[in-house]
Amino acid sequence: MKLILATNNNEKSREMQTILSNLGVKVLTARDIGVSLDDIEETGKTFEENARIKAHAVMKKSGFPAIADDSGLIVDALNGEPGIYSARYAGPGASDQKKIEKLLSRLNELNSTNRQAHFVCAICLVYPNGQEIFVTEKCYGKIALSPKGKSGFGYDPIFITESGKTFAELPREEKDKISHRGKALSKLAEVFPNFNKN
């Protein structure tokens, strides 16, 4: 069975393929099979809605079961920003560094001691017969005063986990176990055997 990942993000692909490959399916990216994601608009108002939009679009284009995640960072002191706009927080095509700079600048403007935050990951797996599986997980932590670590992507260098280290300071295997995406994929792996024969 082939399972198509609806993402162009290489780091997301690696995280998702590492866990999903253990399910006995062939995991491919949309790029692997020549499917473009450029025309898919994330118009949902929640992480779940955006994941569903992407998964359905890739399933229809490829004819294979497709999986998509929508994830983001929610910062308490910023009333939930950047939330579903995490990838576009500093404008279209902005680098991870620019997004981090904007978020830290916004927090500095508030002069708040509240650095609490959490990541959310919503995953949707959809089959050509219309069947869907949804899982959502979170990872709680706080925002660092400045970036630390060289690994990961996105906001990883400023998200301090319960270990006291940022995601970017953790080995990949350790991050995969505790991250929002890692936990969501593990939950998906638990329910997947009940669905993968459809």
- Token pair, residue 69, equals 């995640």
Residue matched to tokens 């995991």: 27
Supply the pLDDT for residue 115: 96
Query: Which one from 32, 38, 39, 70 is the annotated catalytic residue?
Result: 70
Supply the pLDDT for residue 195: 55
From first to last of the 198 residues of the chain, give the pLDDT tens digit. 788 988 877 777 777 777 777 777 778 888 888 888 888 888 999 999 999 999 999 999 999 999 999 999 999 999 999 999 999 999 988 999 999 999 999 999 998 889 999 999 999 999 999 899 999 999 999 999 999 999 989 999 999 999 999 999 999 889 988 999 989 988 988 887 665 544
CA 77-83-88 angle, 5° bins? 120
> Does domain 2-194 correspond to CATH entry 3.90.950.10?
yes
Supply the pLDDT for residue 106: 95
Which residues are CB-neighbours of 63 under 8 A, at least 6 positions away?
128
Give me Rg for the CA atoms of the chain. 17
16: left (phi over 0), alpha (psi -120 to 50) or beta: alpha
Can you list the positions of beta strands (E) in the chain?
2-5, 26-29, 66-75, 116-126, 132-143, 159-160
- 7 in Cβ contact with 29 (< 8 Å): yes
Q: Is there a catalytic annotation at residue 76? A: no
- 143 in Cβ contact with 75 (< 8 Å): yes
Supply the pLDDT for residue 198: 42
